[in-house]
Structure 1
Amino acid sequence: MIAWSTNLVAKPLATVFGGTVASAGMLVAYLNYMGHKRRGRIPVMITGVEGRLPGSVLAVLTSRNGHNDAVIRTALTNAEGHPVVFLYVNDKKPQTSRAPSIFEVVDPYLDDMQAKEYFSKAESLAQRAKIPRRYIYRQNAPGVVSRVWQAVHPRDIVVAANIAPEFEDVNPDRIRYELTPSGKVAHMLKQW
């Protein structure tokens, strides 16, 4: 800290140069973020399942489902101030055409533009509604939704009605269907 403070006084031109470069970089980053936000493409960081979120809503989005927009809007509408966990289940196999290089992060989410688009839409709408949210990305496997459901303990799973029968391993107390302008969704309700 002392060396840094001394350098500020002893080398004022270097301080001005460094401050200008840092400020220009921050300005470019801010303009880039605002441009993406205006177009509705907000960057989203995916998280893991961190534990129980009682009272939350689990919104299941899939790569083969045409009603993901309806699921997103319905989940945010029914959140009632509780967190919404967006789970994207990808049915496509990750492309492994080449071997990763040293220190390279291999994550199927990084190459999945459709998942990024849906998560970005969800983030934009959730920011406007001021609702806490989390994002989970999983490859399709038997029981993937039920494992997340068991870990999170949501009160409601919102899923497109046409794929609701696929989640037979989820044991809700009741299932309620809702017609929306974007399609029919199913609410799998559970009192924990």
Structure 2
Amino acid sequence: MFLYLGERDSTRKPELFRLIEPHLNDEQARKDLGRANYLAEEAKIECRFIYRHREPGAIARVWQELHPQDTIIAEDQMPEAQEIHPQRTSIESTSGGQVMHLGT
């Protein structure tokens, strides 16, 4: 499961819609989620995506509701992970920076 926290855009004008898919209006989310999907398919890993607006407690609320086995959080989101109390944690260095694994 990939959780993407997007920014709210109050400058967009209201528009009618049938299905709410806020990630379609977030160019960076489309790019990042597309890349994650491509890499998961290449590795033959089944995955799901969740898009939420960035706000305090968003990561913890999703984690508490879904109880994923492994959650990977980017370095800039690590302070928000303090609200989560996983059974185990580990830090991994990647080419894009450090990520934290939170395991249940």
TM over 0.5: yes
Classify the TM-score, shorter chain.
0.7 to 0.9
- How far is 1:158 from its partner? 0.7
Mapped pair 1:93 → 2:5: no
TM-score using structure 2 length = 0.83
1:151 counterpart SS class = helix
Counterpart contact for 1:149–1:170, Cα < 8 Å: yes
**Counterpart amino acid of 1:181?**
S
Structure exhibiting the larger radius of gyration computed from Cα positions: 1
1:133 counterpart SS class = coil
For residues 154 and 161 of structure 1, the distance between their equivalents in structure 2, rounded to whole angstroms, comes to 19
Q: Percent identity?
A: 38
For residues 150 and 117 of structure 1, the distance between their equivalents in structure 2, rounded to whole angstroms, comes to 27
Larger helix proportion, structure 1 or 2? 1
2:28 aligned residue? 114
- Runs of 5+ consecutive residues of structure 2 not aligned to the other structure: none
**Counterpart amino acid of 2:13?**
R
TM-score using structure 1 length = 0.48
Which of the residues 54, 70, 80 maps onto 1:140? 54
- Runs of 5+ consecutive residues of structure 1 not aligned to the other structure: 1-84
Aligned length: 104
Q: What is the Cα-based RMSD across aligned positions, in Å?
A: 2.0
Mapped pair 1:155 → 2:69: yes
Q: Which runs of 4+ in 1 moved over 6 A?
A: none
Over 3 Å counting, the alpha-carbon distance change for 1:99 and 1:189 in structure 2 is closer
Over 3 Å counting, the alpha-carbon distance change for 1:100 and 1:189 in structure 2 is same
